[in-house]
Amino acid sequence: MNRLTSKDVINANCPWSGEPVSASALTRYRGHVVGFCNPGCRDRFEAATSLFDSRIEALAENDGRSG
């Protein structure tokens, strides 16, 4: 995977805190580099989106039916 850099970030402020993005707290999400103010906020985002994405994928595989 390519190294993430600040020049590729799509946001200037952390989605969680509103603080400026830090080059040490970047992640890739749906093909875009998203920045956070610190690694803790980044990790929180990754955990949340991973959970939602996996559940959405499971629903899609089951044609939207559960059980």
Average pLDDT score over residue span 44-52: 93
Report pTM.
Answer: 0.78
Average pLDDT score over residue span 7-34: 96
pLDDT reading at 66 higher than 90: no
Work out the angle at residue 42's Cα, subtended by the Cα atoms of residues 26 and 32, and round it to the nearest 5 degrees: 45
Using alpha carbons, select from 63, 59, 61, 19 the residue that is nearest to residue 42: 19
Q: What is residue 57's predicted lDDT score, i.e. its pLDDT?
A: 87
- Which secondary structure element, helix H or strand E, spans residue 18, and what is its range? none
Q: How far is CA 56 from the centre of its chain?
A: 15
Confidence of residue 65 (pLDDT cuts 50, 70, 90): low
Confidence of residue 64 (pLDDT cuts 50, 70, 90): low
